[in-house]
Amino acid sequence: MKTSKSYSPEVRARAVRMVFEHEGEHASQWAAIASIAGKIGCTPEALRLWVRQAERDAGGRAGPTSAESERVKALERENRELRQANEILRKASAYFAQAELDRRFKP
- At residue 105, does pLDDT exceed 90? no
Hey, what long-range contacts does 100-106 have (CB within 8 A, 24 or more apart)? none
* pTM reported for the whole predicted model: 0.66
Per domain, the residue ranges of the chain are 7-63, 66-107
Taking a C-beta distance cutoff of 8 angstroms, is the pair 58, 66 a contact? no
Element (H, E) at 105: none
Which residue did the predictor score with more confidence, 76 or 23? 76
Task: Give CA–CA dist 7/13, Å, rounded.
Answer: 10
Q: Can you tell me the mean pLDDT for 7-18?
A: 93
DSSP letter at 28 equals S
Taking a C-beta distance cutoff of 8 angstroms, is the pair 18, 36 a contact? yes
Which residue did the predictor score with more confidence, 105 or 95? 95
Name the packing angle between helices 29-40 and 9-22 (round to 10°): 140
- At residue 1, does pLDDT exceed 60? no
Q: What is the pLDDT of residue 60?
A: 85
Task: Give CA–CA dist 29/80, Å, rounded.
Answer: 40
Number of other residues whose CB lies within 10 A of the CB of residue 82: 10
Tens of pLDDT, residue by residue over 43-85, are: 999 999 999 999 999 988 888 898 999 999 999 999 999 999 9
CATH topology of domain 7-63: Arc Repressor Mutant, subunit A (1.10.10)
